[in-house]
Structure 1
Amino acid sequence: MSELRLDGLESRDGADELVGFGPAEPSPDEEGRTSPESASPPAAGRGAVDPVKALMHRHRELCERAVDPLEIAAGLEAHGVTDRTAARFRHRDVFSLAEEMYARVPRDADTSPERRPMPAASGPGGGWAVLALLPGALCAAAVAGVRLTHGQPRLAVAAAGALAVALGLRVALRRGPLRVPLGTTGRSGTWTCWLLAYALLGDGLLAAGLADGPEGPWPLATAPVLALALSCAPALWCAHLLSVRARRKLGASRGLADFADSVKPLLLGVFALYLCALVSLLALCGTVLDQPAVSVGAVALGALLLLARLLTVHGFPHAPAVVLCTAALTETCALATVFASRLPGCSLLASPVRTVTDAWGPGAVLGLVCGIAALLLLVHATRTLTRASAHARPPGAT
């Protein structure tokens, strides 16, 4: 009789039925989908069938690399296992099922030599707290240089400052709670740069285009960009707070729904905390630079960039990339229609943008586009970042 082994665990006779080669029929989970994990475990019969052992076989790799039951619970959730499914395995919830699976996998170092401990969430002592101040410091130096120079030197200082801020931001985000995990594919960097460039130049260029210009250099909105650069530090601190508190709630929760209900207020609270910090920085920068105190467009852009980064860091890069791309292209179309309206017979092309700017000013384009995009990502985040699988490992862990 053939024998199936799983890290020292043996299963005979009925194991083939349980791992998907027998007649066991899958049943739909709570959302109506059909998956192997939601199959009702067959009744014990000939051969003393062990349904949990079969589930462990199906998720062999997850069980072998897991360093605590929470990681197994999050992995099962990601594969469609719900608390109702766990009840069919005679457990009250997925966490209880994961605890049994974790306990039944041998933890001897010789049987799993490649298993490594789960990295802890990055703390301020990791150096990222200091690096978080780098983009704001570089942007402040660049803004000071631009305001103190004129003509050709001013253009050179602005270009060098933009490059320095971009490099500083890259360095700051390569460590800490907003670090993108290795292997995550995302093309949101280009769209992020465009959105920031529009925040700096777009309103002035749009106003000049609607006024039959430009006839010279248009004003730069340096206060919003400086505030966004300075807000990198509160963004990292808020992301760290979300990571630490969510993992604590993951350890204290006794069900997937319980965890989701406890994390949603945390997510919204952290998001509101960042917005308060951003509004304060906008008011401060506006006062120092003698520009409009608070820009609705800058607040919406900051919210959009934070949500996009959080979703990417926690393993959901597709939606942020699509939303950022759509927002950048919408702003491009707004500028293009304004200047295309100067062509003979094309004056109507600028009517939508002109209507919006006449009612709320040139900054309304940035505010509407980024506000709608941020709202979409916020709704998406409340559905995805409240899952246990989004917090099984600290952000940026590989």
Structure 2
Amino acid sequence: MPAPTLRAADRKPATPARRGAADPVKALMHRHRELCERAVDPLEIAAGLEAHGVTDRTAARFRHRDVFSLAEEMYARVPRDDAAPPHVDPVTEPAPRATWAVLALLPGVLCAAAVTGVRLTDGRLRLAVAVVGVLAVALGVRVALRRGPLSNPPGTHAWRTPPGTRLWTYWLLAYALLGDGLLRAADDGGPDGLPTGLAGGLWPTATAPVLALTLACAPAAWCAHHFAVRARRKLATSRGLEDFADSVQPLLLGTFALFVCALTALLALSGAVLGEPAAYAQGITLGALLLLARLLTVHGFTHAPTVALGAAAVTEATALAVDLIGRLPGCGFLATPVEAVLESVGPGGIPALACGAAALILLFHTTRTLTRASAHAPTNEPR
């Protein structure tokens, strides 16, 4: 009996072999192999994927509801050595250590000692004390920024503070100390001598805002620690990139407002103790700008702080230069904008406007940058 034959309608067409990877997640893992191999938890993979442009909508093409779910599968499929030591969850970070807490107080203590020494001396000895005090405060700030929440994470040598950021920071602090007095003296036809380190000299020195800013290193370190720990916890509990951004943005703004309140109190205290104007506008805007710049630098974003600090410093230098040039014959019109600011709000209006505008722009940039999951994942690549 002949074997039965299948009708043409019953025959199943042969399935053509599909080109490319049949497992899209496996292909994605191969594309981000280094990220998957070095990741210590799924959160790091999620942050790395976001940094490479993978969104929750992209994750839906891999049959996952969000990037976090996709990262969990990728992390689970990476082969690992069972004998490897268990990873300590970074969410359960210890409380602020006494080491960096004490180091954060060092700049303020050294600045207070320098101000006291300048006020108790006279002549060449005062000049020597001032020079030694400036060097000591600079060294204290450098030491404070090498440990704790305001320092770059270990192994992130590419994230070191760029030289331009240091240069602009030094200029802004020097202007906070000497700039208003120089601008006032230049407007009166001076200066007729070098600064004496006192508020009532021919070239007045504003020590109260500088003292407050150095004392503010301690609350700045605590605020940075608070933001980093809370953001990491929210990263662990969030189930989507938008969810994480929505929860971190109020945390960032609240931390920023807390620092501004602490700096305001320190300005009032410094002004009362030294018997000088507290210079709230100049001190708060400069302190806010420096804090935002440091937060971005610590998290690996080094370009925007350099630009913002540089723009504020160039604005101050330009205002001072055109005021001096305006005294030349036929150049008086150049100093008209600066003279208008001096007549309306005083010499402190120049740094307040320059640092305030830069701080507002940097705050907007920070709320868009530090609310991303990739900003809180360890990496060695600067951004």
TM-score bucket of the superposed structures, by smaller chain:
0.7 to 0.9
Residues in 2 aligned to 1:282 and 1:359: alpha-carbon distance in whole angstroms? 23
The separation in 2 between residues aligned to 1:252 and 1:116, in whole angstroms, is: 18
Q: Which stretch shows the higher mean deviation, 331-340 or 270-279?
A: 331-340
> 1:269: how far off?
0.1
Matching residue within 98, 107, 115 for 2:80: 107
Matches within 5 A, 1:31-180: 49-108=22-81, 123-125=95-97, 127-180=99-152
Q: CA RMSD in A?
A: 2.2
Identity %: 69
**Distance in 1 separating the partners of 2:206 and 2:250:** 34
Q: Which moved more, 1:179-188 or 1:271-280?
A: 179-188
Which structure has the larger Rg over C-alpha atoms?
A: 2
- Post-superposition shift, 1:156? 1.1
What is the CA–CA distance in structure 2 between the aligned matches of 1:151 and 1:375, rounded to whole Å?
42
Q: Does 1:308 align with 2:280?
A: no
Deviations 1:138-182 (A, max 9, x none): 000000011111121111111110110000000001011111242
Which has the larger displacement, 358-367 or 214-223?
Answer: 214-223
Work out whether residues 139 and 161 of structure 1, in 8 Å CA contact, stay in contact via their aligned partners in 2. Answer: yes
- Any idea what SS the aligned residue of 2:337 has? helix
Check the 8 A contact 2:111/2:211 in 1, yes or no. yes
Paired position in structure 1 for 2:159: 184
Contact 1:279 1:294 in 2 (8 A): no
Inter-partner Cα distance in structure 1 for 2:272 and 2:171: 26
Does residue 340 (structure 1) correspond to residue 325 (structure 2)? The answer is yes
Counterpart residue identity of residue 164, structure 1: A
Alignment partner, residue 10 of structure 2: none
What is the total number of aligned residue pairs between the two structures? 352
Superposition deviation, residue 122 in structure 1:
7.1
State the alpha-carbon separation in 2 of the partners of residues 179 and 118 from structure 1: 21
- Equivalent pair of 2:59/2:70 in contact (CA under 8 Å): yes
User: Aligned residue for 1:228?
Assistant: 213
1 CA distance for matches of 2:380 and 2:338? 40
SS across alignment from 1:124: coil
Q: Which runs of 4+ in 1 moved over 6 A?
A: 115-120
Structure 1: segments with no counterpart, 5+ residues? 1-12, 19-48
Q: Distance in 2 between matches of 1:116 and 1:55?
A: 24
After TM superposition, give the deviation of residue 118 of structure 1 in Å: 7.8
Q: Which residue of 1 aligns with 2:275?
A: 290
- 1:342 Cα deviation after fit: 1.8
1:291-339: CA deviations, max 9, x gaps? 1134201100000000001011111110110111111111111111111
Correspondent of 1:193 among 170, 178, 195: 170
In structure 2, runs of 5+ residues without a counterpart are 1-16, 196-202
State the TM-score, normalizing by the size of structure 2.
0.88
Cα deviation 1:168-198 (Å, max 9, x = unaligned): 0000010111112421252201100100000
Deviation at 1:109, TM superposition (A): 5.6
Contact map agreement 1:132 1:172 (CA 8 A) in 2: yes
SS in 2 for 1:179: coil
Output the amino acid matched with 1:341.
G
Contact 2:158–2:380 (Cα < 8 Å) also in 1: no
Distance 1:301 1:206 in 2: 18
| Distance in 1 of aligned mates of 2:37 and 2:89 | 13
Does structure 1 conserve the Cα–Cα contact (< 8 Å) formed by 2:57 and 2:66?
yes
AA of the residue aligned to 2:354? V
Distance 1:109 1:175, change over 3 A: farther
- On the 8 A contact 1:123/1:176 being kept in 2, the answer is no
Q: Does 1:368 align with 2:340?
A: no
| Matching of residues 242-261 of structure 1 within 5 Å | 242-261=227-246
Partner Cα separation in structure 2 for residue 126 and residue 383 of structure 1 = 32
Distance in 1 (CA, whole Å) between partners of 2:206 and 2:97 is 35
What is the rounded CA distance, in whole Å, between the counterparts of 1:84 and 1:327 in structure 2? 39
Cα displacement string for residues 233-266 of structure 1 (whole angstroms, at most 9, x for unaligned residues):
0000000000000000000000000000000000
Look up the match of 1:390: 375
Would the aligned equivalents of 1:122 and 1:240 in 2 still touch at CA under 8 Å? Answer: no
Structure 2 Cα separation of the partners of residues 136 and 118 of structure 1: 34
Name the structure 2 match of 1:276: 261
Mean Cα displacement is larger for which, 170-179 or 257-266?
Answer: 170-179
Of 17, 22, 34, which aligns to 2:20? 17
> Could you tell me which residue of structure 2 aligns to residue 354 of structure 1?
339
In 2, the alpha carbon distance for the partners of 1:395 and 1:214 equals 49
